[in-house]
Amino acid sequence: MFSLRLSRKILAFALAVGFSLTVLSGCGVKAVAYDEYGYFGSLTRVVTYEELGEDKTKIKNVLNDVDGAISLSVEGSDVRAFNDAQPGETIEISRVGYEIFTLAMQAYALTDGAYNPAVGLLVDLWGFSPRFNDSDYAPVKPYDRERQSVPNAKYIEAFKKEEVTDFGEVKLLKEDSKYYVTKPNTSVEVDGVTYSMQIDLGGIGKGYAADKCAEIVDKRENYYVSVGASSLVLGANAKTPDGAPNEGSWKVTLASPRGESSYMSVFAKNVSASTSGDYERYFVQDGKRYSHIIDPSTGYPIDNGVATVSLFGATSAEGDTLTTALMVMGRNKAIDFIRNNLTGCKVAIATYEGEAGKVYTNMSDSDFELSSSFEIEKF
């Protein structure tokens, strides 16, 4: 089960971070020691108030291990090995890969498949896997076409079938300190070509990495870790660098899904924060937005009015999967799910119903500040 760090409080006050992560210093906090690492096609930032020293190497090792487990563009990564395996084949993976697969399995079960890393074929079909970012992208797969356009329906139908999306059929095994995963012995066929399950851990890897980096620097308290623009771990921030008590929290600005730069800011400390949005990667065809978050039940990008979800309170790996899942669920199901399963987490769900933006949240007034024309509704 998910062990949520629910005792961690969200409180008010100073200092600023943002999910687009610009650090504005303030409130008596002195020099910021600041390290950046380029992984997962994004930037990991570890901000502390003292030099990282040996921890730098530890952080690099963690990021390297996660990359080696989840990266679709790193040859020999665990996920590549899984994707290249034959149906029914068992392959050896790394310990980190095993941990991430295990957490992904838990999230899949908890969210009833709204979070489902076995959407790999669909993500690739819709043009959101990393190969489409290459400047020399050229069509190679039978379903490839010009970059980012609505695919042929026969592939959507095939790639959403449970033969290639039932992540519950993936088997994990640990034996003699070695780790294994078995691909389900099923596949689908389109025009005589066979396709087996493809995994995409892009919706959990950065969150997992943020947790692990935070573990390394956590004893410092006065820190934050951000991985990409969507996973953030905020230190306790209980003391200023000279040891004086600091009642301040971080101010996390949540990026606006459209237009304005931020729609609300949240005051928080000693907590993980995750965000997911339809504005991060998408394309528009015939006036319609197609985002990188796929509804596994339809095979299409989500189309339910939810534009972004941010969650404070779970671990970063959990939050990463949950924000994606809540986007897939849509507003009403998401609110029920939060009430039933995530008591103690603070969540903001930004939606567009027509032109007007509306945010549904279970946060208290003192937890946040609205910085846009969004209407607010508490649940």
Residues lying near ligand ADP in the complex (CB under 6 A) are found at 115-117, 119, 123, 128, 200, 202-203, 206, 228, 230, 276, 280, 292-294, 296, 320, 323-324, 328
What are the helix and strand counts (H, E) for the chain?
Answer: 9, 22
Report the half-sphere exposure of 341 (CA within 13 A, side-chain side): 20
Angle at 270 between CA 267 and CA 271, to 5 degrees: 75
Q: Which is nearer to ligand ADP, 261 or 297 (CB)?
A: 297
Q: Which is nearer to Mg ion, 320 or 367 (CB)?
A: 320
Sign for the CA dihedral angle at 69, 72, 77, 83 comes to positive
Binding of residue 272 to Mg ion (CB under 5 A): no
280 binds, among ligand ADP, Mg ion, none (CB under 5 to 8 A by kind): ligand ADP
Q: Which is nearer to ligand ADP, 285 or 364 (CB)?
A: 285
Which residue from 323, 351, 361, 362 is in contact with Mg ion, where contact means CB under 5 A?
323
Binding of residue 278 to Mg ion (CB under 5 A): no
- The encoded tokens of residue 247 equal 């009642």
Nearest approach, Cβ of 185 to ligand ADP (angstroms)?
22
Binding of residue 200 to Mg ion (CB under 5 A): no
301 binds, among Mg ion, ligand ADP, none (CB under 5 to 8 A by kind): none
Contact by Cβ (8 Å): 314, 342 = yes
Nearest approach, Cβ of 19 to ligand ADP (angstroms)?
10
* Residue whose tokens read 């790999």: 120
Alpha helices, DSSP H, located in the chain: 55-70, 78-84, 95-110, 120-125, 153-159, 162-165, 205-217, 316-329, 331-341
Q: Which is nearer to Mg ion, 246 or 324 (CB)?
A: 324
The stretch among 77-85, 199-207, 253-261, 331-339 that binds Mg ion (CB under 5 A) is 199-207
Residues 322, 74: Cα–Cα separation, whole Å: 26
Which residue from 246, 276, 310, 316 is in contact with Mg ion, where contact means CB under 5 A?
276
> How many CB atoms lie under 10 A from the CB of residue 80?
17
**One-letter amino acid of 35:** D
